[in-house]
Chain A
Amino acid sequence: MWAIISILVENKPGILFKVTHLFRSRNFNIESISVGVTADPEFSRMTITTIGDEKQIQQIVKQLDKMIDTVEVQRLDEHKTVYRELILFKIKINKASDSMEINKLANAYGAKIHDVKKDSIMVELTATPDQINTFEELAKPYGIIETARTGVAALQRTGA
C-alpha cells in the first residue's frame, strides 16, 4: 500500500535527521521525501511517501505523531489530495527527428523544454509519480542520460 504522509514540523535544525532516523530505527521505508519552509517561517512541511501494509502505515503515523518536534501529522487520502512531483530529464538526441518527437511528447504531458543542445535536450515535468513513470517509459527508447526528481509535495483539497 502506498501512502502520503504530510508532517508539519518545527523549523529547527536537526529535525529532518530525527524524522529519517525514526524510519530507519523502526524498520520503515521512505519512498520519497520533500521538505520546505511553510508560509509561516516557524514551520516546515515534510511530505513523505512510503509503502507498507495498513498496520505499518498506522504505526508510522503514530510514531511520527509521538515525536516532540512534529506539530501535526496527517495521512493524506490520495483521492482528496493534490500531489505533484517535479523531475528533470536529460534525454539523448540521436537523430534530427528525435528532437521533434520529444517536443511533442513534452507538450502532451505539459512539460517544459530547457537547454536544447545538438546531442541532448532537458525536459522539466511536474506531474503525479505515476505520470512521471509513464513519461520515463516513453522517453527511455531515446536514451535517458540523467534525471533529478524532487519527491512528492502534497496538500489536501479544501472541503475534501
Chain B
Amino acid sequence: MENMNGGRALMKALEKEGVKEVFGLPGGANLPMYDELFKSNIRHILARHEQSAAHMADGFGRVSRKPGVCFATSGPGATNLLTGIATAQADSAPMIAVTGQVPVKMIGKDAFQESDIIGMANPCVKYSFQPRDASEIPEVVRKGFYIAATGRPGPVLIDIPKDVQQNEASMTFPEEVKIRGYHPWTDPDIVQIEKAIDMLLAADKPIILAGGGVTISSAFAELQSISELLMIPVVTTFKGKGSFPENHPLSLGPIGMHGHAEANKLMTEADCVLAIGTRFSDRSVGTFEEFEKRLKIIHMDVDPAEIGKNQTTNIAVVGDVQATLRIMVKLLMHKSIKKTEGTTWLKHVKEVKEYWRENLKLPKGEMTAAKILRKLREVLPKESITTTEVGQHQMWASLFFDVIHPGTFFSSTGLGTMGWGFPAAIGAKVAKPDVPVVDIAGDGSFSMTENSLATSVLENIPVIVFLVNNFSLGMVAQWQRTFYDRRMIGVDLKNCPDFVKLAESYGAQGIRAQSLDELEKAIKVGLKSDVTTVIDIPIDPEEDVLPFVAPGTPLKDMILPS
C-alpha cells in the first residue's frame, strides 16, 4: 500500500497496464491528472478536438488489439468524446476514455462545465465508472482494461471528479479482478461444431461469411485453413474486409449494399452459410427475410446476444471465434475430411467471379475511382495499414482496393462516422510505427477532422491521406441523383478548401495528383516522407458507386452499372 493522490494512482495504474501513450486535451476539470501525466513516463499526444482524440485511441486499439486511451475534460470535452466512444462501441473496439468531472460536491448543481457524461454515454459504452473516492482508482482502471479488452471488446468510460483526482489515499493495485456479472468467454461447444461440420459437408453450395469478429479475434490463419480444407469460397462483410486475403482464389470480397457483384450474386445462390463473427447488419445482408428463406445458417460469435438478434440460425456456436475455428480445424484434420476441387458449385463460383472481374462496367477516363485505388494497391507495400473515412471513397475502397495482408484494413463500419479515418490512422501509426499508414479519405469526411494535421506534424506521426476529392458530399449526392430525381441540396463543397495549401499551412506536405503517373509519384513521395502527406486527387463528381443494393431490398436486386 502506498499513499498518493488520485491522479498519480491513475498514471501508475495506466503504466501497469502497459500504456505508453494517451491521446487527449486538457481542461479545467482534468488539470490534476494532467499534472501527474507530466510527471509520469506516459507520452501525451495532443489532439485538437476530443472527438479526434477518441478516434486516435480507437485506431490505436484496433491495430494493437489493446485498449487505446484518451483523455478529455468535463462538460464539452466529455461530450465531444461521445461520437468517438459511440464509434468504438459500434465496431467493438477496445478503448479507455478518461474524463474529468466537476468535484463530487458540485455534481448535480449545474456547475460550470458539468455534464452527466455517465448518463449520456450509457448506451454507447461497454461499461462506465465514476470513482467517488481516490482509493477506488487502481481497481477501476484494472477492471476497465479487463472489460474493454476481453470478450467482445468495447469502450469503457472512467469519469473522475476533480477532487477525487486531487485527494490522497492509501492505494492497493490489484493484479486480478473479479466481476460477478461478467463472463466474457464461453468455451465453444464441440457437439455444435461437429454438427456445423456435418451441415457444411452435406451442403451443395456452401459459403463462408467472415465478419469483423475474425479480425478482432485474429483468426485469419484458422479461417484460411477451414476455407482451404473444405474448399469453401469466402465472402466477407465490409467490417470483415481483409480478414481473408482478397487475392486468394477462394476470395469473393465483401457482400452488401456496395458489395462485389460476384459476392452478392453467389451469396444469394448459396444453400448453407458459415457466418463467423458477424451480426448480420442491414448494410451487409439487405432485407433479413430474404436471407432467411433459402439458407441453412451456422452462426459463430463471442457474444451470445448476437445469436438470433438479427437472424434466426440453424446452428449457433458461442465462443471466441479463433478458439472455435481452431477446434473446427482439429476436428477436420482428425477426420481427414477434405473436399475435392472441381465440384459443380466451385466451377460455378469460379465462372461467376471471372465473369464479374472482367465484365463489370467501369466509367471511362483516367482518374476514376477504380483506377486510382488500384494504383494505390499497386504501389503500397502489402503490410501497410489502411483506414478509411465514410462515404463514396470508403465503398470504392471496398470494391477496388484489395486487402492482401489480413487485419490491415480498418473503417468506421457500424456507426459510419465521417472524420474517423485520419485520426484513426494517426493512432494506428502510433501502434505500428514501422509500417506505412494510409487514410483513404473523401473531401467531406477529411474536412471534419483535418485539424489532426497539427497532431501528426507536431507529434511527428507521419501518415498518408489519399484524398479522393469529388468536391461534394458524394454519397449523399449519389442518393439524391438516384432516389430524389437529382434535386441536389447541401452536397456541393465547391473545391473549398484547397487541400494542398491546407496541408502546407500545417507544415505537412500537399501534393495534387491529376494523372495516374502523378499519383504514383505522389504515393512514392509520401511513403518516403517523414512528414504527413496529403495527396489531393480530383475526380469526376458525377461518378457513382456501383453495384448498389438500395436500402431495404434484397442483395439479388443489386443495381449494376449500365
A65 close to chain B: CB less than 8 A = yes
Pick the residue among B127, B304, B305 that contacts A68 (CB under 8 A). Answer: B127
Chain A: CB-nearest residue to B307: A62
Contact A65 B304 (CB under 8 A): yes
Pick the residue among B122, B147, B180, B307 that contacts A18 (CB under 8 A). Answer: B122
Q: Mark B112-139, 1 if CB is under 8 A from A, else 0.
A: 0000001100110011000000000000
Q: Assuming A18-B122, A66-B303, A68-B127, is B308 touching A58 (CB within 8 A)?
A: yes
Contact A68 B182 (CB under 8 A): yes
Pick the residue among B180, B305, B307 that contacts A71 (CB under 8 A). Answer: B180
Q: How far is the CB of B459 from chain A (nearest CB, A)?
A: 34
Contact B308 A21 (CB under 8 A): no
B181 close to chain A: CB less than 8 A = yes
Contact A70 B304 (CB under 8 A): no
Q: Mark B297-319, 1 if CB is under 8 A from A, else 0.
A: 00000011101110010000000
Chain B: CB-nearest residue to A63: B305
**Chain B residues, CB < 8 A from A138:** none
B489 close to chain A: CB less than 8 A = no
**Chain A residues, CB < 8 A from B147:** 68
Contact A21 B182 (CB under 8 A): no
Docked Cα-Cα span, A59 to B306, in Å, equals 9
Contact A59 B309 (CB under 8 A): yes
Docked Cα-Cα span, A14 to B128, in Å, equals 11
Within 8 A of B (CB), among A35-84: 55, 58-59, 62-63, 65-71
Q: Assuming A14-B118, A67-B181, A68-B182, is B123 touching A62 (CB within 8 A)?
A: no
Contact A17 B304 (CB under 8 A): no
Contact A62 B304 (CB under 8 A): yes
A97 close to chain B: CB less than 8 A = no
**Chain B residues, CB < 8 A from A68:** 126-127, 147, 179, 181-182
Chain B: CB-nearest residue to A43: B180
The SS class assigned to the A binding surface is helix
Pick the residue among A55, A62, A69 that contacts B181 (CB under 8 A). Answer: A69
Q: Assuming A58-B308, A59-B305, A68-B127, is B181 touching A21 (CB within 8 A)?
A: no
**Chain A residues, CB < 8 A from B308:** 55, 58-59, 62
Pick the residue among B118, B181, B309 that contacts A10 (CB under 8 A). Answer: B181
Docked Cα-Cα span, A10 to B126, in Å, equals 17
Docked Cα-Cα span, A71 to B559, in Å, equals 48
Docked Cα-Cα span, A22 to B124, in Å, equals 11
**Chain B residues, CB < 8 A from A62:** 304-305, 307-309
The SS class assigned to the B binding surface is loop
Number of interface residues of B (CB under 8 A): 18
**Chain A residues, CB < 8 A from B303:** 66
Chain B: CB-nearest residue to A60: B305
**Chain A residues, CB < 8 A from B309:** 59, 62
Contact A17 B181 (CB under 8 A): no
Docked Cα-Cα span, A65 to B305, in Å, equals 8
Docked Cα-Cα span, A113 to B381, in Å, equals 83
**Chain A residues, CB < 8 A from B307:** 62
Within 8 A of A (CB), among B210-224: none
Docked Cα-Cα span, A9 to B182, in Å, equals 12
Docked Cα-Cα span, A10 to B307, in Å, equals 26
A25 close to chain B: CB less than 8 A = yes
**Chain B residues, CB < 8 A from A9:** 181
Docked Cα-Cα span, A25 to B127, in Å, equals 15
Q: How far is the CB of B96 from chain A (nearest CB, A)?
A: 15
**Chain B residues, CB < 8 A from A22:** 123
Chain A: CB-nearest residue to B147: A68
Within 8 A of A (CB), among B128-163: 147
**Chain B residues, CB < 8 A from A66:** 303-305
Q: Mark B168-185, 1 if CB is under 8 A from A, else 0.
A: 000000000001111000
Contact B119 A17 (CB under 8 A): yes
Q: How far is the CB of A15 from chain B (nearest CB, A)?
A: 10
**Chain B residues, CB < 8 A from A14:** 118
Docked Cα-Cα span, A21 to B305, in Å, equals 17
Q: Assuming A55-B308, A62-B305, is B122 touching A70 (CB within 8 A)?
A: no
Q: How far is the CB of A42 from chain B (nearest CB, A)?
A: 9
Q: How far is the CB of B101 from chain A (nearest CB, A)?
A: 14
Docked Cα-Cα span, A18 to B487, in Å, equals 43
Docked Cα-Cα span, A50 to B200, in Å, equals 38
Chain B: CB-nearest residue to A66: B305
**Chain A residues, CB < 8 A from B122:** 17-18, 21
Docked Cα-Cα span, A55 to B308, in Å, equals 8
Within 8 A of B (CB), among A1-33: 9-10, 14, 17-18, 21-22, 25
Of A14, A65, A68, A69, which is in contact with the most chain B CB atoms at under 10 Å from its CB?
Answer: A68
Docked Cα-Cα span, A18 to B303, in Å, equals 19
Docked Cα-Cα span, A18 to B121, in Å, equals 11
Within 8 A of A (CB), among B278-334: 303-305, 307-309, 312
Q: How far is the CB of A93 from chain B (nearest CB, A)?
A: 45
Contact B305 A25 (CB under 8 A): no
Docked Cα-Cα span, A10 to B312, in Å, equals 32
Contact A21 B304 (CB under 8 A): no
Docked Cα-Cα span, A69 to B127, in Å, equals 9
Docked Cα-Cα span, A62 to B301, in Å, equals 14
Pick the residue among B123, B182, B304 that contacts A25 (CB under 8 A). Answer: B123
**Chain A residues, CB < 8 A from B181:** 9-10, 67-71
Docked Cα-Cα span, A69 to B147, in Å, equals 12
Contact A10 B180 (CB under 8 A): yes
Q: Mark A81-103, 1 if CB is under 8 A from B, else 0.
A: 00000000000000000000000
Docked Cα-Cα span, A9 to B309, in Å, equals 23
Chain A: CB-nearest residue to B132: A13
Docked Cα-Cα span, A149 to B520, in Å, equals 73
Chain B: CB-nearest residue to A69: B181
Q: With A66-B303, A68-B181 given, can you name 13 additional A-B contacts, CB distance below 8 Å?
A: A10-B180, A10-B181, A18-B122, A25-B123, A55-B308, A58-B308, A59-B305, A59-B308, A62-B309, A63-B305, A65-B304, A65-B305, A68-B127
The list of the 9 closest CB pairs from A to B, nearest first, reads A62-B305, A25-B123, A71-B181, A68-B182, A66-B305, A71-B180, A70-B181, A68-B127, A68-B181
23 contacts between A and B (CB under 8 A): A14-B118, A17-B122, A18-B122, A21-B123, A22-B123, A55-B308, A59-B305, A59-B308, A59-B309, A62-B305, A65-B305, A66-B303, A66-B304, A66-B305, A67-B181, A68-B127, A68-B147, A68-B179, A68-B181, A68-B182, A69-B181, A71-B180, A71-B181
- Contacts from B to A (Cβ < 8 Å): 118-119, 122-123, 126-127, 147, 179-182, 303-305, 307-309, 312
